[in-house]
Amino acid sequence: MAQLAFAASEVVAITFESLFYGLYMMLFKECVQVLLRKHKGDILSTRLAAVTGSLFVLITWHLVIDITRLVVAFNVSTEIIGVEVQFNDLRSLGSVMETSVYVAMTTVSDAFLLYRTFVIWNRNVGIMIVPMVLFVADVGTGIAAACSLGLLNPGETFYVQHQTEITTAFFSTTLALNGICTALIASRIWWHQHMMAGLVLRTGTSMSLNRVATIMVESGAIYSSTLAVMIATYVSESTQAFYVFLEMIPPVIGIVFSLIIVRVRLGQSHETAVAMSTFVAHAIQPTTQDEENATAFNLSDLHDSRQNRSIQHMPKSNLLSDHCGDIGVVKAVSIVAEEP
């Protein structure tokens, strides 16, 4: 039975992946309903739909590859040793393809997170230097990790020196990028909340953005904690546990992404919907000074009673966005219609 350890861990891993995929599908369904209801054919909706669709295809593809490898392994050989050999062959097409899909999925997810951070920091290139370097390193090490699998000698595993170095670098840069971007987004939102403390729009909705920061941190923590545990199991060479967490990562990425969008619809209050839509709007598309459907005001007026507050009322929008400039001026804000 000891010889079945690796194959058994794969079976357990695919089982957990399937369970999390089921949870992801429930959230994905709700996410699609929200996107269809709010879709207006603009670039904002198109970008969000493209990312949502891409992640769905990659996450599903990853699960299909895993199930196919499992079926093939048990069909090729009825002997325990034969099944183990099939799963141990990291140079196989299925193994390399699975890793490649994982890298592509991570690239899409991290690119979206990077862009989201870039937008909410008002396209501040200086702030984005470290995250951008980490993203390039993340993609590079991911591609190297996938390619190096095909160069392994027969019988070699993930734990040969050169493979360990590349794989550890890939996982570590992914974790660092997510941690830094999450911290940057949360800190920016908390700063907005501090600057807008006490501000109430004419509709009576208070600009409380603490929930946005909290949800962002919580969502990032789900993915980051899973990734951190996976890295720990890899470094400690706990093969069985490593494969379980490795296969769980793809649906977790989809769950975290979809959960943010779904909570706009399932928010317990109007304030929650407003806050979450602020985050989604920042995540996809910056606003411009001439953008329609906005309610604009200048934050500097909060600190100078001698100036007139300028509020330009335009038609109600389904997105709330506050595009902050380098001097801390909120460019535009619009109110989210409460979900029926």
- Per-residue pLDDT tens digits for 210-225: 665 666 677 778 888 9
Please state, in angstroms and rounded to a whole number, the distance separating the CA atoms of residues 118 and 125: 8
Angle between helices 161-195 and 270-284 (to 10 degrees): 130
User: What is the DSSP-derived secondary structure letter of residue 3?
Assistant: G
Please state, in angstroms and rounded to a whole number, the distance separating the CA atoms of residues 268 and 99: 39
Q: Which CATH class is domain 2-286?
A: mainly alpha
Confidence category of residue 198, pLDDT binned at 50, 70, 90: low
Token digits of residue 29: 């369904």
Task: Pick 139 or 275 by higher pLDDT.
Answer: 139
Give the chain's mean pLDDT.
72
Please state, in angstroms and rounded to a whole number, the distance separating the CA atoms of residues 186 and 188: 5
- What percentage of the chain has pLDDT greater than the value 90? 26
Token digits of residue 185: 């987004």
pLDDT at 312 over 70: no
Q: Average of pLDDT values for 181-190?
A: 84
E strands, 54-210, in order: none
Please state, in angstroms and rounded to a whole number, the distance separating the CA atoms of residues 268 and 270: 7
3-class DSSP state of 34: helix
pLDDT at 7: 67
Handedness of CA 186, 184, 110, 51 (dihedral sign): positive
Q: Average of pLDDT values for 269-297?
A: 42
pLDDT at 271 over 80: no
pLDDT at 219: 76
Residue type, 147: C
Summarize the chain as % helix, strand, coil (round to 5).
70, 5, 25
Q: Which helix (H) or strand (E) holds 18?
A: helix 5-38
Q: Average of pLDDT values for 101-111?
A: 94
Q: Average of pLDDT values for 230-239?
A: 87
The residue written with tokens 């004419």 in the block is 202
Q: Average of pLDDT values for 315-331?
A: 35
Q: Which residues make Cβ contacts (< 8 Å) with residue 30, sequence separation at least 6?
A: 258, 262, 265, 266
Domain spans, the chain:
2-286
pLDDT at 19: 95
pLDDT at 5: 62
- pLDDT (tens digit per residue) in 123-136: 889 999 999 999 99
The residue written with tokens 């977790």 in the block is 252
Q: Are 55 and 257 spatial neighbours (Cβ–Cβ below 8 Å)?
A: yes
pLDDT at 338 over 90: no
Lowest mean pLDDT among 26-40, 148-162, 240-254, 281-295: 281-295
